[in-house]
Structure 1
Amino acid sequence: MKVLHVITGLGIGGAEQQLRLLLRHLPVRSRVVTLTNPGAVADGIEADGTPVTHLGMTGNRDVGALPRLTRLIRQGGYDLVHTHLYRACVYGRPAARLAGVRSVIATEHSLGDAQIEGRRLSAGTRALYLATERLGTSTVAVSPSVARRLARWGVPPARIHVVPNGIETTRFAHDPTARARTRAALGLPADAFVVGGVGRLTPGKHFDRLLRAVAALPDAHLLLVGDGPERAKLLRLAAECRAADRVLLTGAVPDPPEGPGERPDLPSLLAAMDVFVSASPDETFGLAVVEALAAGLPALYVACPAIEDLPPEAAPGARRVGGAVPELAAALDEVLRERGGRLVPPEALRRYDIAHSAEQLLSLYHRAVRGPHPVK
């Protein structure tokens, strides 16, 4: 089977890195087209052996991208087109149909209750999405929560399939040697209580609240892994809170890394932490929380469908907390006082193994190619 993946961009982000992981585990011939921003993840995908083409789209209204993408799909002779993220879905589904490819699957990675890919939802956004959704074979939701949101939007439930995001669970097993090495490299005291967070530094992630909560605890350090437009604001806030010497921003870290390097990788950075916090109130999955649990960390979260969709006892190391600064500070103070050490990763993580997700997706591919197709 020959599959073309179309994605909006390939800078460092959850959906982008999830695509890279899937490509490592899908036993099909694949190629990737990125509409914009062929960044670090594009380099990683090519290093893994999958070709990447940059379409050169200049913006949401660059309608000239549609015929360019249509020609590329037609010339490639693909059996199936798989789109990822809103803009790629809106352009990729009609392009596939115009090119004569009738098997089109879209993965919805970023539909929250009030936003999609960090932008506020609108009637126009929904209408355009639904108009192009009808051109596809099926839509993949990364969690039951996203599946319910798609159904509320108007996507027929029979066309929605849940395939959860996944991780390479064994890579995140806690390594005490990596913990010591990473703390030394980052200048973190060996005995410091380190609060961690991972994600794009954007307003919706509420890292400012986490920073204020950590600043209220004199014995705590904050280690944030990621980059984004809020970086300078967070550094100013740390100075205002007189906690600049206890706040460390590492920048974005590709995961998996392209190859051995001097910078710590994500499992090593998680090893350096004592507790993980996700302060975002609107998540579509919560992959970073899953990675933290795989690393044996206690995890505090404001919203995390990956955990909320499990039975309460399935992930004992994860705990839902309020998103206000006093609530975050109180929860962190409780963890600090307990300092229970590393936890055993829960058995529920098997559900989120990337090999299992790829297996489910491959089954959908075969059904899409061999089964009935939408009527033109």
Structure 2
Amino acid sequence: MKVVHVITGLGIGGAEQQLRLLLRHLPPERATCHVVTLTNPGPVADGIRSDGTGVTHLGMAGNRDLRAVPRLARLIRSGGFDLVHTHLYRACVYGRVAARLAGVRAVVATEHSLGDSQIEGRPLSAGTRALYRATERMGTGTAAVSATVVRRLRAWGVADDRIHLAPNGIDPSRFRHDPAVRSAVRGLLGLPPAAYTVAGVGRLVPAKRFDLLVRAAAANAGTFLLIAGDGPERGNLLRLAADLGAADRVIVVSAQDGGPDVPEVLAAADLFVSPSPEEAFGLAVVEALAAGLPVLYAACPAIEDLPPHDAPGARRIGGDPRQLAAAIGRQRQAGGPARLPVPAAVDQYHIAHTADRVLALYASALASATKK
């Protein structure tokens, strides 16, 4: 089958990286794929192209650029695609309409970022909900990245038979701990060999609350903080570290700027902390567990939806900076092995399982479209 993936943008982000990883694991003999990005081709587009999948930039000028709909419809029609797969809010809204105009009735979406009070880091409004629900009915089904997102979609009134669980996935081999990588990255970043180092990973936006992590690390004398990510909050986080007298202990890196990538950052760390109070999945937590790190998190459906014994190295903490600082201090004092055994949760979220579920959804969507 020929599948076109429509996504809002391809800058560095969890959904964007997840799409690239999924494309690598969809067998070409079962799904020939192409990607359309509405805006911002970004570095992930380059990565997808280097993997062998074509990417088209639609050049959408803004949220209200309605000219993008007929352009996308023409692209879908001329490409002879059997199925349209949309990712992220704007692409889901425009992509479903364009697919209908192009005559493609097999349309699925992946809901990557639906929270209780926000979507993709922005507050939910009545208008956002109404537009989402109206266009959702134009598709065949929606893949939810966690059981928590399944419950949120039901609460929005999406019918059970239209919701399909397809959790995010990772390639665990990428995160397997390597002491040589740890030593090299610490040397590159100027981290003392024995310095206790906390890592955080994610988009540097207010909703992720990395400011809480900076405050908590600053309150723990001698503790270093290594944040991997890019976004508008970078400067604010560095200024906050300086104001707290911890500028020499807070390091912010981005692979986009030539810094170490996420597996390397995790290799250099002793503890992973996710301070974000609301998540749809919590991919970075699973990656940290795959690297053998103990984890403190404020919210992580990927772990909360599993039995506790599947992720014994992960512990939920409160969102108060003093509580977080105390939890980091206790973890440091407790010591323990340099790396924990990789828990069962990691294998449950292997990207190969995700690809199998997505292919099953494609088959269901095509069968449903044929009956109409």
**TM-score, normalising length: structure 2:** 0.97
Equivalences for 1:97-136 in 2 at 5 Å?
A: 97-136=100-139
Contact map agreement 2:198 2:270 (CA 8 A) in 1: yes
Matched, 1:177 2:206: no
1:310 maps to a residue whose letter is: L
CA distance in 1: counterparts of 2:345 and 2:203, whole angstroms: 26
Q: For 1:204, what is the secondary structure of its paired residue?
A: helix
Structure 1 counterpart of 2:301? 305
Q: Is the 8 Å Cα contact of residues 135 and 374 (structure 1) preserved in structure 2?
A: no
Whether 1:368 aligns to 2:365 is yes
Q: Which stretches of structure 1, 4 residues or more, deviate above 4 A after TM superposition?
A: 372-375
Q: What is the Cα-based RMSD across aligned positions, in Å?
A: 1.2
Deviation at 1:374, TM superposition (A): 8.3
Aligned residue among 171, 189, 205 for 1:168 = 171
Residue aligned with 2:93, SS: helix
Match of 1:294 in 2: 290
Residue identity matched to 1:298: P
* Alignment gaps of 5+ in structure 2: none
Give the secondary-structure state (helix, strand or coil) at the position aligned to 1:6: strand
SS in 2 for 1:300: strand
Q: Return 5+ residue gaps in structure 1 as ranges.
A: 255-261
Aligned to 2:7: 7
1:181-229: CA deviation from partner (whole Å, max 9, x where unpaired): 0000111000000000000111111100110000001110000000111
1:348 CA drift (Å)? 2.1
TM-aligned CA deviation for residue 263 of structure 1: 4.2
In structure 2, the CA distance between the partners of 1:263 and 1:251, relative to structure 1 (3 Å rule), is closer
Q: 1:336: Cα distance to partner?
A: 0.6
Structure 1 residues 374 and 248 mapped into 2: Cα distance closer, same or farther (>3 Å)? Answer: farther
Partner Cα distance (2:321, 2:370) in 1? 50
Paired with 2:350 and 2:135, the residues of 1 have a C-alpha distance of: 31
Shift of 1:94: 1.1
Aligned to 1:258: none
CA distance in 1 between partners of 2:303 and 2:60 (Å): 36
* Counterpart-to-counterpart distance in 1, 2:242 and 2:370: 58
Greater displacement, 360-369 / 69-78: 360-369
- For 1:154, the equivalent position in structure 2 comes to 157
Give yes or no for the alignment of 1:321 onto 2:317.
Answer: yes
Inter-CA distance 369–335: structure 2 relative to 1 (3 Å threshold): same
Q: Quote how far apart the aligned CAs of 1:265 are.
A: 2.7
Equivalent in the alignment of 2:81: 78
CA contact (8 A) 2:254 2:260 kept: no
The aligned counterpart of 1:35 is 38
The aligned length equals 368
Conserved in 1, the CA contact under 8 Å of 2:217 and 2:223?
Answer: yes
Q: Shift of residue 276 of structure 1? A: 0.3
Does the 8 Å contact 2:74/2:102 carry over to 1? yes
Q: CA deviation at 1:269?
A: 1.2
Residue from 235, 249, 255 that aligns with 1:246: 249
What is the deviation of 1:350? 1.1
1:21-60 pair list within 5 angstroms: 21-27=21-27, 28-60=31-63
2:253–2:260 Cα contact (<8 Å) kept: no
- Report the secondary structure of 1:33's partner residue: strand
Kindly state the Cα deviation for residue 303 of structure 1 after the two structures are TM-superposed. 0.3
Q: Deviations 1:99-122 (Å, cap 9, x if unpaired)?
A: 011100000101001000111000
| AA of the residue aligned to 1:349 | V
Quote the Cα distance in structure 2 between the aligned partners of 1:101 and 1:76.
Answer: 11
CA distance in 1, matches of 2:318, 2:256: 28
